[in-house]
Amino acid sequence: MLDDFFTRALLAGIGVAITVGPLGCFIVWRRMAYFGDTMAHSALLGVAIAFLFDINLMVGVFVVAALVSAALLLLQRRQSLSTDALLGILSHSTLALGLVMVAFMTWVRIDLMGFLFGDILAVSRTDIAFIWGGGAMVLAGVAWLWRPLLASTVNAELAEAEGMHPERARVAFMLLMALLIAIAMKIVGILLITSLLIIPAATARRFSSTPEMMAVMASLIGVVAVVSGLFGSLQFDTPSGPSIVVAALALFLVSQIAPVVRRSGPQPQEGGRR
């Protein structure tokens, strides 16, 4: 069965969609879309470093994304610039550094379009193993951090008073995001990862009455977007990664005219930007 490239693409895409759902909910609740963009853009620098040192691409992307998260935390503590300004600097700087490094590595042929927009039809059995294995780790981490993340999203001071260590949970959340970026990069590409994070979660929010229901629905909507996007790509001969995002967008637009169940999810006092 795994000898068929389309079957491998479906398995890989479904694995990513299931993983993305819960993390995407926290991105929406915490208003951290720009943070997701920054992590995604840093992936190209990770790709360049992976080629330079001849290591696994996912490992390179994870390490760089984790370092970018650490840099953001350190710069925030200095309080010299707002968070959105810091994210803008890190986002564009890492993307530019990655492009410059790739340009200097003339001995390596790198498919930039594949990394920027994804190449899900080229996933291998090894990629599927990484995606499902990494996805299981991410979901286990989200389950473990669910209560402190949810509490700190509503009120960080109250979560701290109750001994939930919101800052520690925030650092762990950033590491989970780094791992997600590493496993999702090959599916939809660096420039489209944030779309797959935000759109299914935003769609699910309209129909969910609890945070847990929203997380599950976000994953299911992501799966529907992946499957319909891939079949649409096959039918109309369009790029697979962008087709998945377009399918997710179509689901979101349909949701806007459907009856609302009840708005779900915690309402943070502070957004991801400052």
Residue type, 127: D
Residues 164-209 pLDDT 10s:
888 888 899 999 999 999 888 877 888 788 899 999 999 998 888 8
3-class secondary structure, 39: helix
Q: Does the residue 270 lie in any domain?
A: no
Residues 220-260 pLDDT 10s:
999 999 999 999 999 999 989 899 999 999 999 999 887 76
Residue 126 CB contacts under 8 Å (≥ 6 apart), including other chains: none
Domain that holds residue 233: 5-255
Distance, in Å, from the CA atom of 214 to the CA atom of 151, rounded to the nearest integer, reads: 16
Q: Does the residue 197 lie in any domain?
A: yes
- What's the pLDDT score for residue 131? 92
Residues 139-172 pLDDT 10s:
999 999 999 999 988 888 888 888 888 888 889 9
CATH code for the domain of 126: 1.10.3470.10
Measured CA to CA in angstroms, residue 162 lies from 147, 148, 151 at distances of: 11, 10, 9
Q: Does the residue 38 lie in any domain?
A: yes
| Banded model confidence at residue 90, pLDDT cuts 50, 70, 90 | very high
Distance, in Å, from the CA atom of 53 to the CA atom of 5, rounded to the nearest integer, reads: 29
Q: Does the residue 122 lie in any domain?
A: yes
Q: What is the mean pLDDT of residues 63-67?
A: 93
* Spatial CA neighbour of 195 closest among 270, 239, 252, 121: 252
Q: Are 56 and 126 in contact (CB under 8 A)?
A: no
pTM: 0.87
DSSP E strands: which ranges in 29-122?
none
- Can you say how many angstroms the Cα of residue 64 is from the centroid of all Cα atoms in its chain? 15
Q: Does the residue 39 lie in any domain?
A: yes
Q: What is the mean pLDDT of residues 111-122?
A: 84
Q: Does the residue 190 lie in any domain?
A: yes
| Banded model confidence at residue 14, pLDDT cuts 50, 70, 90 | very high
Q: Does the residue 192 lie in any domain?
A: yes
Split into its structural domains, the chain has a count of 1
- What's the pLDDT score for residue 160? 85
Per the prediction, the chain carries an average pLDDT of 87
- What's the pLDDT score for residue 271? 41
- What's the pLDDT score for residue 263? 55
Q: Are 271 and 30 in contact (CB under 8 A)?
A: yes
- Could you say which DSSP state residue 120 is in? G
Q: Does the residue 267 lie in any domain?
A: no
* Spatial CA neighbour of 39 closest among 57, 12, 62, 15: 62
- What's the pLDDT score for residue 18? 96
